[in-house]
Amino acid sequence: MLGLIFAVKLKPTDNYLIPINDEPMIRILESRLRQAKRIEDVITLVKKGQEKKYSLHVEKVKPVKGRTIIDVLLEGLPSGGDIFLIKGNMPLVMPFFVNYMSTIFIEESPDALIPKWKDGRIELFHAIYNARALRNALEGMKAEGEKNIGNLPRYLDAEYLCVDELLGRNEKLMWSFFAIRGSEDLRIVLKSGII
């Protein structure tokens, strides 16, 4: 399985290099993905022109030109295999949870395994996908003029994993879904002692 990190700056506020204890969060994320048993390799998608900057912090970068999430993913997806897709601002991903998800994914064989909260929120960027199925879904969205990536599950045969139930068994799992978008989020992480 390929770990695919989405670190493409599409908005001015996107920053995937925020340092946590002097280490860019993208490097922490890559390291945590490599600790998962079924992640064989990790590639980081970056905006074309940013590859040198990111290659200082992660092993493999793939520059993309896309201006939307859908275009970036279509350009950056491998031709086949399974991928664990995650946003570059979620550095606290739990390797044990990636292992757990990959076991369910292999047993069930859906197009996607997507974590879902009780309130209906889905974690499209903390999910496992069959690369071909994801590509077909994204192409279908593009053909129909659908621009909201949140509607992706309508185009896939997806299974869902209830996050709230799993949190009842292990509260630390919450950090796996914590996105660092700025200094306030960083303060929360540093204060927690999780890293």
Name the nearest CA neighbour of 4 among 88, 70, 69, 80: 88
**How many domains in the chain?**
1
Structural tokens at position 84 = 């664990």
Q: What angle do CA 79, 84, 88 make, to 5 degrees?
A: 110
Note whether 112 and 153 are within 8 A (CB): yes
Range of the domain at 106: 2-191
Note whether 89 and 179 are within 8 A (CB): yes
Structural tokens at position 73 = 């993913």
Per-residue model confidence (pLDDT) at position 194:
82
Per-residue model confidence (pLDDT) at position 193:
80
Note whether 54 and 26 are within 8 A (CB): yes
Per-residue model confidence (pLDDT) at position 192:
87
Scored b (16 or more CB within 10 A) or e, 30-43 reads: bebbeebebbeebb
Distance CA 147, CA 141 (A): 7
Per-residue model confidence (pLDDT) at position 56:
94
Phi/psi of residue 42, nearest 5 degrees: -130, 130
DSSP state of 150: G
pLDDT by position in tens, the chain (length 195): 999 999 999 998 899 999 999 999 999 999 999 999 999 999 999 999 999 999 999 999 999 999 999 999 999 999 999 999 999 999 999 999 999 999 999 999 999 999 999 999 999 999 999 999 999 999 999 999 999 999 999 999 999 999 999 998 988 899 999 999 998 999 999 888 887
Instruction: Check which CATH number belongs to the domain holding 106 and give it.
Output: 3.90.550.10
